[in-house]
Amino acid sequence: MSNSAADRVLALAEAITGHPLPVRIRVWDGSEAGPFDAPVLVLRSRMALRRVLWQPNELGLARAYVAGELDVDGDLYEALVRLIDFVTSHLPGRLQIGARQRYAMVRGLIRLGVLGRQPALPAEEARLTGRRHTIGRDRRAISHHYDVGNDFYSIVLGASMIYSCAYWRSQHPHYSLADAQHDKLDLICRKLAVRSGTCLLDVGCGWGALAVHAACYYRAQVVGVTLSEQQATYARKLVADFGLEGQVDIRIQDYRDINDGPYDAIASVGMAEHVGLAHYTEYAEAMYRNLRSGGRFLNHQIAQLHPRTKPPQNERAALGRVRWHRRTPTLINAYVFPDGELRPVGTTINLLEDAGFEVRDVEAIREHYARTLRAWVANLEKGWNKAVRLTTAGRVRVWRIYMAASALAFEAGRLGVNQILCVKTHSDGRSEMPPTRTWLAAT
């Protein structure tokens, strides 16, 4: 019977979970164990196990992956599907570990040489201080995510430089990500009834794509605001390249500081996830305050979807006994969106209505986001070496794993994304909305 390092790791993992692992394992000495017809989880260093020992949850695995100590050989999506299903199905059971099992685990860890001091955190991990969702901390959180470098984002996002869900109107092989992003911008402008002379506020304007689209195709007057210095620099150059300086104004500004309304229409695309539930009323009221009566507000936002099932009562009790904290840091909030918060779409609608808006249309487009994310992953993998030169290997690994896992979450219905169209009605109830939805038809 083999007693390689891979065999010991596999035995340890299965003792902890109580079930066979759904992936094959290859460890630092080249030995392998597990099913032959499965993706391979590669442990390049003992440090990968040590990180998980110190942080036995998603964050520990994320740190090992970002540091390059843990990797996947084979289809990344298949590996993630298998691992996510495995953790969802079997992780609660592993928390009830008896004294004999704990002794065997410690003995196995000693034999593998895993015990030791906690490894240094990867440099790419966010380390924000101060009270959450203050203007200063929000600015630092936005900078952590968006100021990676415009050249890096151009690799991931492509020429459109749009970092939000595209709107895929065709399955034709020649219909590209750029086409789908163009159609998303056009959909937003139609929903907001943008036309010549419309004063449009683009909150969280990114690299300026919507602002330029509305100005070029619809002759709108646009103000775009962002907290990212690099986004603003890029957007201003884009505006200049199109000769739109008289139509588009790009500002570095927090939504709480906007006070030059009312605007005819407001778009907030992929920005509200950063606001936080505690400040969402303030955000919604700021949008309402800056919109004219009869004007429209479009809120495009990722949503948390309620789980379809709850764990059995005995498993929930077991989770409580081991102090399982729902706020344990994850890959997303440690490396991607620090301080980001997701809530169900119903919560968002209630808060928008509380601010005074009338919600007129909600479109769920989560399948579109899954396809968008897969396109971004393909872009990143194609430009991998250049992306590493522009930033760090750890940062590129963060983006690959986060986008691939997010694509699967949208496909499986664990995450959603919605365009919520609201109107600020006149005091007599007039909405200025047409009586039917034919205005949504593409032209």
pLDDT, greater one: 119 or 99: 119
Domain boundaries, the chain: 5-112, 135-440
- Enter the pTM of the model: 0.86
The pair of structure tokens assigned to 343 is: 């809530």
Rg (CA), the chain: 24
The pair of structure tokens assigned to 236 is: 């201003």
Q: How confident is the model at residue 95 (pLDDT cuts 50, 70, 90)?
A: very low
User: Can you give the pLDDT at residue 316?
Assistant: 37
Mean residue pLDDT across the chain: 85
Distance (Å, rounded) from C-alpha 131 to C-alpha 138? 10
User: Can you give the pLDDT at residue 339?
Assistant: 62
pLDDT at 357 over 70: yes
pLDDT at 86 over 50: yes
**Range 141-180 burial, b when 16+ CB lie within 10 A, else e:** bbebbbebebebbbbbbbebbbbbbbbbbeeeeeebbebb
pLDDT, greater one: 304 or 363: 363
User: Can you give the pLDDT at residue 334?
Assistant: 75
What is the rounded average pLDDT of the residues 128-133? 64
Residue 263 DSSP SS3: strand
The Cα-based distances of 53 to 112, 116, 207 in angstroms read 12, 10, 41
341 contact partners, CB below 8 Å, separation of at least 6: 273, 275, 276, 277
Q: How confident is the model at residue 56 (pLDDT cuts 50, 70, 90)?
A: confident
Which secondary-structure segment (H or E) carries 298?
strand 291-304
Helix axes 229-241, 135-146, angle to 10 degrees: 70
For residues 429 and 308, is the Cβ–Cβ distance under 8 A? no
pLDDT one-digit tens code per residue, 323-355: 333 455 677 777 776 666 788 999 999 999 999
CATH 2.40.50.100 for domain 135-440, yes or no, is no
Q: How confident is the model at residue 128 (pLDDT cuts 50, 70, 90)?
A: low
Q: How confident is the model at residue 25 (pLDDT cuts 50, 70, 90)?
A: very high
pLDDT one-digit tens code per residue, 244-302: 999 999 999 999 999 998 999 999 999 998 888 888 999 999 999 999 999 999 999 99
- Calculate what percentage of the chain has a pLDDT beyond 90: 59
User: Can you give the pLDDT at residue 103?
Assistant: 60
